[in-house]
Amino acid sequence: MDPHARIFIAGHRGMVGSALVRELAAQGYRNLVTRTHDALDLLDQRAVRAFFADEHIDVVLLAAARVGGILANSTKPATFLFENLAIETNVIDSAYRAGVQRLVFFGSSCIYPKLCAQPIRESYLLSAPLEPTNEPYAIAKIAGVKLCEAYNRQYGTHYVALMPTNLYGPNDNYDLAGSHVLPALIRKAHEAKLAQEATLTVWGTGEPRREFLHVDDLAAATRFVLEHEVRDGVFNVGTGEDLTIRELAQCIAGVVGFEGELVFDRSKPDGTPRKLLDISKLADMGWRATIGLTDGIRDTYARYAAQQREHDAASNG
């Protein structure tokens, strides 16, 4: 990839977008184009088309999305479906109209059926019903994948879709009303430790198995795809390893230093029983994740704890 290419990172303030900025800047890419939501509302088709017409973008990394965990998905299904559909259709179509040949669309492992063979291959997409708790978000992301495929087939573009497993890392969302399981557990364990609580409640049975990928590994995979001239297709991005939610909670409690008892609230939904991605397509091309889960959680928690100390100091100052 041309090191002077103008690369638009949509959603640069989010966890994925900020990781892409860090990775590309560290590798010498200096022509990175970003816009805040106030400067460019991706839900506004006219504004998005004007942006692409003016900015002469070479590559788009579409990391902007409305995201959240089980609670957020179940309480705001219309928001998740509409906003994600609007963002991806506005950006993909406007990029094509402006002559942008290369685009990377970021989906999610939740696009795959609730009950399918493990590990999950890209070919399993649309082979069975989705997990009901995040169906609106998944449908929107599937539409984005199919939009990339359709534009490639009809217009000859080179739009690639990456399907990361559960992500975590810097700039994650720790709001318990909208966060995913790993950051939610980090926050709950941290607060339980500070309050010297005897127990920490975890949603569900603790039995579902999940795979987790540090967001910096996703950014590295994205750069790999761009620099190796991958021009189309859907690619899973993960570690190829999973663990139970119980094991995850135990790991986080150990890293945080919470010594109380883990209590599992079986009245809360578990979601999909297992989600382990088949990562052979990228692995066969030469890319694998390098950040181990415990090390990644340790680094993530250190950043979170530092931010909380800064927040507390500012509040008391």
Q: Residue 224 has which token pair?
A: 């790999």
Q: Does the annotation place 16 within a ligand binding site?
A: yes
Alpha helices in 179-292 (DSSP H): 181-194, 215-227, 245-256, 280-285
Q: Does the annotation place 270 within a ligand binding site?
A: yes
Rounded to a whole number of angstroms, the CA Rg of the chain reads: 20
Q: Does the annotation place 13 within a ligand binding site?
A: yes
Q: Does the annotation place 288 within a ligand binding site?
A: no
Could you tell me the CA-to-CA distances from 200 to 39, 119, 183 in Å, in that order?
41, 31, 14
Q: Does the annotation place 169 within a ligand binding site?
A: no
Q: Does the annotation place 103 within a ligand binding site?
A: no
Alpha helices in 64-205 (DSSP H): 70-75, 77-97, 135-155, 181-194
* Cis bond upstream, residue 119 (ω within 30): yes
Contact (CB, 8 A) for 79 and 66: yes
For the question of residue 112 being annotated catalytic, the response is: no
Q: Does the annotation place 285 within a ligand binding site?
A: no
Q: Does the annotation place 236 within a ligand binding site?
A: no
Of the candidates 137, 151, 168, 304, the residue annotated as catalytic is 137
User: For residue 235, how far is the Cα from the chain centroid?
Assistant: 14
Tell me the CB-side half-sphere exposure of residue 183, using CA atoms within 13 A: 24
Helix axes of 245-256 and 293-316: crossing angle, nearest 10 degrees? 50
CA-CA-CA-CA torsion sign (186, 114, 234, 117)? positive
Q: Does the annotation place 165 within a ligand binding site?
A: yes
Q: Does the annotation place 84 within a ligand binding site?
A: no
Q: Does the annotation place 56 within a ligand binding site?
A: no
Q: Does the annotation place 228 within a ligand binding site?
A: no
Instruction: Please report, in range form, the residues annotated as the binding site for NADP(+).
Output: 11-17, 141, 164-167, 180
The catalytic site residues sit at 137
Instruction: Please report, in range form, the residues annotated as the binding site for substrate.
Output: 188, 203, 210, 270
Instruction: Please report, in range form, the residues annotated as the binding site.
Output: 11-17, 141, 164-167, 180, 188, 203, 210, 270
